[in-house]
Amino acid sequence: MTDDLTHLQDAMKAATPEPSRKDADLALAMKNFDDFHDARQGSADPARPTSDRPTHHWGLSSGVFKMFHSLTTRGALAATTSIVAVGIGVFFYTQQGIRPEGFVGFSPTTVTPPTREADIRQIPVTEPVMTDDAGKVDSVIIVDPVIVEEVAPEPRARQAEAPSGAAVGASADMMLAPMSRKMVAPSGGMAYLQEPAIIPPAPDTEAFANGDANPVKITTEEPVSTFSIDVDTASYAIVRSSLMNGQLPNPDAVRIEEMVNYFPYNYPAPETGEAPFKPTVTVLQTPWNSGTQLVHIGIQGELPAMEDRPPLNLVFLIDTSGSMNQPNKLPLLIQSFRLMLSQLRPDDEVSIVTYAGSAGQVLEPTRVSDKAKIMAALENLRAGGSTAGQQGLQQAYAVAEGMAKDGEISRIILATDGDFNVGISNPEALKDFIAKKRESGTYLSVLGFGRGNLDDATMQALAQNGNGTAAYIDTLSEAQKVLVDQLSGELFPIANDVKIQVEFNPARIAEYRLIGYETRALNREDFNNDKVDAGEIGAGHTVTAIYEITPVGSDAILNDTLRYQPAAETDDSGELGFLKLRYKEPGADVSKLLTTPITTGMGQATDDVRFSVAIAGFGQLLKGGKYLQDWGYDDLITLANANRGQDAYGYRSEAVKLMRLAKSLSGE
């Protein structure tokens, strides 16, 4: 590479433009720069399209953009406005099959397109470059050259020169459309001239997994409610990301159960020798409707001592496609895994598989005691190419199965923005693929990064069917929460296929609705079918589910009594309903059953209970608040503030700040 650069510089020195032509063209270039700069004052910065987008064929290294931005802010391009990309034009002409307009006929013999920021250089430009017929030159980019065969330029072409020693780079606030006018080949390299064209921001392609809000059910018609538990937290972090960026979240991005389950709660834990988790039921007044009550179900998982947990085999399956080439994606991902490594035991093993245009294993199974080797493999990752998710998943499962030993836990942690565009990309097809692979005993968890093309629907399909969890990492603080503070719950399952079924007593309860869990609904008969998959509870995890119930005779009943509906039988038991839970111990094929009657005045409405209710109200407001009467953000903030409790990590205080932001953005 150094020899090529020297060759290019020597060749450039050999060409000496005519002084009068140099002065005239330089003055013209200066005028064009000033005109272009003035025209762009006050314009918004468009987003950079990602390199694995099928609708874009042209792009430049992010490092080039950073270089240009720092130079232009120092006025370094005051002497010229021409853009010369040495090597990039050859790459697109030969690799992409695109022939730019005005290409003057160079035949490449070796193509070495720049692939990383280290390949970009700032070098003097002395060789004349081709211009359009008006002599207009716009700006200069130089990257390491490819070797090309020189072909004489067209005689009619005019020439302009970038002055010796001019600093060059690429604009961070501009993308160039493929509108090149002329090209010239100095010895050992190629110049690629384009006129500037602003490309609009890439469209928002985010897709979220959700469903219509659960309706109010009439107890006499449908007394039984069945669903899978969910300990995912991705939705809350996505909501926070939207609000912190000054906009209300897409209602489809709001999954209320994930918002509620984002927070740690101190529910009563199971006693030694009991089931691996304990349910606690609380019946309390609904804050947004005086005519209804809430049935709050809190589940607390046991937390075994660290020394008692089994050895862990982890496969980091990392998306290194072009869409990950943003600061809040691959760089944040690497920092996040660095935090996680510090929490693992020395005898745990880690392997790394990456996928972009194709998949590959970049780190063989390595003990955590060799942390330096693992970190070196992570820090050498670079983003580029399309997203071959299917191939990556196949290889990750193969690696995990090879690492598995009796008594150990194997888990794949997929880190991605969810943008699968090679292989299986349909959530339903992914669901079928993962459902077959989970029989191997390997768990699959998903960490989402970045916004704009976040495919939450794909992430949910993977995590829900891979016996794992889904979380969204938008900051290093969130990585600390998920991968350090709650690491045991994320990695070590204590109960598989956990299902909840509640039968409401029609003699006492006229109507009910489940708040959230739309994507986790099960058929009534699925509860007793051990072949039907459901959610997992990790060590120390808490799970919360909330029903709003309307007692018989309440003025809050929404549905008219049917003319021919039989009257409910009288029941003096005092039971409002009956709670049943099914679960499997890790590795077991047969489920176990837990039951608890639900009675009036049951449980104690603690700070934990009331705060979780406030978050459920927050989620409903963000989705439109259909069942909240006149209850609004002021009521919500008052309820949340009064029940923050100890709040050791500040999560609840942060939630109140988000509520205030949402209130302002909503215009209430």
Q: What is the pLDDT of residues 1-42, one digit of tens each?
A: 455 545 444 544 444 555 555 566 556 555 555 554 444 434
Together in a domain, 500 and 516 = yes
Confidence of residue 280 (pLDDT cuts 50, 70, 90): very high
- Could you say which DSSP state residue 282 is in? E
Same domain, 647 and 531: yes
Strand partners, 627: none
User: Which sign does the torsion angle of CA 73, 78, 83, 85 carry?
Assistant: negative
Whole-number pLDDT of residue 111: 35
Phi (first) and psi of residue 77, to 5 degrees: -100, 20
Domain boundary among the residues 490, 520, 553 is at 490
pTM of the model as a whole: 0.70
In what helix (H) or strand (E) does residue 226 lie, and over which residues does it extend? strand 224-228
Q: Considering the domain boundaries, does residue 413 fall inside one?
A: yes
Does some domain include residue 201? Answer: no
Could you give the number of structural domains in the chain? 3
Buried (b) or exposed (e) across 474-508, using 16+ Cβ within 10 A?
A: beeebbbbbbeebbbbbbbbbbbbbbbbbbbbbbb
On whether residue 593 sits in a domain, the answer given is: yes
Distances in Å between the alpha carbon of 350 and those of 240, 341, 483?
31, 9, 15
CB 206 within 8 A of CB 453: yes
As given in the structure block, the two tokens for residue 102 are 């005005």
Q: Is the dihedral of CA 476, 481, 487, 491 positive or negative?
A: negative
Residue range 280-294: average pLDDT?
98
Closest CA to 131 of 244, 21, 234: 21
**Backbone phi and psi for residue 16, each to the nearest 5 degrees, phi listed first:** -120, 110
328 shares a domain with 267:
no
CB atoms within 10 A of CB 55: 7
Q: Which residue has the higher pLDDT, 204 or 437?
A: 437
Q: Are 331 and 324 in contact (CB under 8 A)?
A: no
240 within a domain of the structure (yes/no):
no
- Give the pairing of strands 159-160 and 129-130: antiparallel
Q: What is the pLDDT of residue 420?
A: 63
In a domain, 349, yes or no: yes
Q: What is the CATH number of the domain that holds 402?
A: 3.40.50.410
Among residues 437, 456, 490, the one where a domain terminates is: 490
Q: Are residues 396 and 346 in the same domain?
A: yes
Buried b / exposed e across 7-41, counting CB within 10 Å, b at 16+?
bbbebbeeeebeeeebeebbebbeebbeebeeeee
Residues 312 and 389 in one domain: yes
251 occurs within a structural domain: no
Percentage of the chain modeled with pLDDT above 70: 67
> What are the distances in angstroms from CA 140 to CA 77, 104, 126, 153, 505?
8, 19, 12, 20, 76
pLDDT computed for residue 24 by the predictor:
61
H/E stretch holding 550 reads: strand 542-551
Same-domain check for residues 635 and 542: yes
Q: Are residues 190 and 322 in the same domain?
A: no
Check: CB of residue 36 under 8 Å from CB of residue 196.
Answer: yes
On the question of pLDDT at 122 being above 50, the answer is no
Host domain of residue 416 = 306-490
Query: Which of 439, 460, 490 is at the close of a domain?
Result: 490
315 and 405 in one domain?
A: yes
- pLDDT tens string 220-279: 999 999 999 989 999 999 999 999 999 999 999 999 999 999 999 999 999 988 999 999
Q: In sequence order, what are the residues at sequence separation of 6 or more whose Cβ sits closer than 8 angstroms to the Cβ of residue 31?
A: none
Secondary structure (3-state) at 647? coil
Q: Residue 571's pLDDT band (boundaries 50, 70, 90)?
A: confident
Identify whether residues 575 and 538 lie together within a single domain.
yes
340 token code pair: 């996680």
Residue 537 maps to which CATH number? 2.60.40.1230
Can you tell me which residue has the tokens 């590479």? 1
Residues 42 and 189 in one domain: yes
pLDDT at position 425: 60
Residue 379 CB neighbours (<10 A): 10
Domain membership of residue 252 (yes or no) is no
Mean pLDDT for 657-665 is 98
Q: Judge contact between 279 and 579, C-beta under 8 A.
A: yes
Work out the average pLDDT over 465-486.
92
Does one domain contain both 479 and 506?
no
Q: Where are the alpha helices (DSSP H) in 317-452?
A: 330-341, 371-379, 389-403, 427-437
Residues 542 and 558 in one domain: yes
- Dihedral of alpha carbons 164, 167, 173, 177, sign: positive
Mean pLDDT estimate for the chain: 76
Choose among 333, 414, 338: nearest CA to 371: 338
Give domain status of residue 152, yes or no.
yes
Lowest model confidence (mean pLDDT) among 118-132, 227-241, 259-273, 316-330: 118-132
